[in-house]
Structure 1
């Protein structure tokens, strides 16, 4: 794994790890007293949008080119008071430590980031970002430190729909209501803005800790013609819960995230 570990695992953070964004939905319909049979596909009659979010914890395992690794990831969402939420992602092993934190407000089906930070250490590489979003002036400022880019303070303009890379997929449940097959998102990360091209490519039914779920398969590229891409599977009947994510670096080389545990509003669906 050391031959390609640094590039692959750094590619998993922040974007591929950001794919682990999972929303809990209030107002979920009452679940059956007993779990569904193994061949049943779970659906939930929940509204597509919500005024508030509910806390959750989701666990994932990281595989590299279908080879299991000891790397585990945990994504959490907690209430922070004053109409604010805090999302945190921790990806840890003996070889690396990747951590992201986003403090944001949820307004009109969009996360409005207040602060974002990303720290990566491993394989003799480091990356640290501290960012503050000012929505009154539509600017983001902060400090970046990376072994391949040095240290720098920054301050630049953003638009009303600019996201951070951890809460980016919170937009999926709103955008998909419009019946689109492709869309673009803009995120602020470190010293620059990033554009993400996202395509809906099909549906699959998967086994998960919550039973069998119908999922929509998305593909994301930073450039329309890029060979590097990220594929992710979201469960629309559970408010676009992330089931799996795969980041492809090249032929036969990819990192994959698989959900292994869940604690949140859908606990009653567990077998």
Structure 2
């Protein structure tokens, strides 16, 4: 088994986010039903883009999905500017975009010519940028999180999380000590858990989602590549399962 933390570069530039590519297995009841890739890249000064794509095939259900968030990173704060989601498969195809205008204090959707009817918050997150903000909070020792968020359907929602502990978990990349984070719902019918690894710069290494106590799916990291801000080959490290 590999030690993940030992393979991280030690010369990342202070004040910048780690750029990476992470690959995941998507499981249901222990069986593999798909793959996912998450990347984070710097595209301009203080501007980054996180992308998540997945391909699931389970019985008669198929789902191919891609979503991304472009955001500004300043003083460990994530400020989203553009969100995009596209999906196709068994369910109706979707193509959805959001634009956050912090100067005008409005959120626009490609589904309407008018701004969304949402009270403005300077701490708005989108359906994927909040995961980056959780990582930044964990680095500072935050144990409770609350975000005003515009979801994938353009609805204004409050996302709440709490740290419930740390545990050693076994993944395809090896044994990892991770911080376990629980999403807090208004009802006990839904459950969602996420694990972040401090030794891997608090990367998201596992997710689990359930409904009424029954597992819906689990996501486990199987490969991880970190690219330093210099983007040179000598600063690139790979994590692969044996």
TM-score by length of 2: 0.80
Give per-residue Cα distances to partners, 1:53-101, cap 9 Å, x unaligned: 23211111111232221x1111111221243111111112462211101
Q: Which has the higher strand share?
A: 2
Aligned residue-pair number = 225
Over 3 Å counting, the alpha-carbon distance change for 1:57 and 1:174 in structure 2 is closer
The equivalent of 1:116 in structure 2 is 83
Of the three residues 53, 58, 65, the one matched with 2:22 is: 58
Aligned equivalent of 1:219: 182
Taking only aligned residues, the RMSD between alpha carbons, in angstroms, comes to 2.9
Check if 1:68 corresponds to 2:38. no
Given candidates 188, 195, 211, the residue that maps to 2:158 is: 195
Unaligned runs of 5+ in 2: 228-235
Q: Determine helix, strand or coil for the equivalent of 1:165.
A: coil
In 2, Cα distance between the equivalents of 1:118 and 1:249?
Answer: 24
Unmatched segments (≥5 aa) in structure 1? 1-37, 145-150
Write the mapping of 1:1-271 to structure 2, written as runs, cut at 5 A: 38=1, 42=5, 50-69=14-33, 71-93=34-56, 95-144=62-111, 154-155=115-116, 156-177=118-139, 179-189=141-151, 190-208=153-171, 210-223=173-186, 225-265=187-227, 267=237
Distance 1:256 1:172, change over 3 A: same
Alpha-carbon separation, structure 2, partners of 1:128 and 1:163: 19
TM-score computed with the length of structure 1 as normaliser: 0.72
Q: Larger relative contact order (C-alpha < 8 A, sep ≥ 6)?
A: 1
Report SS of the residue matched to 2:125.
coil
Cα distance change on mapping 1:81 and 1:240 into 2, 3 Å: same
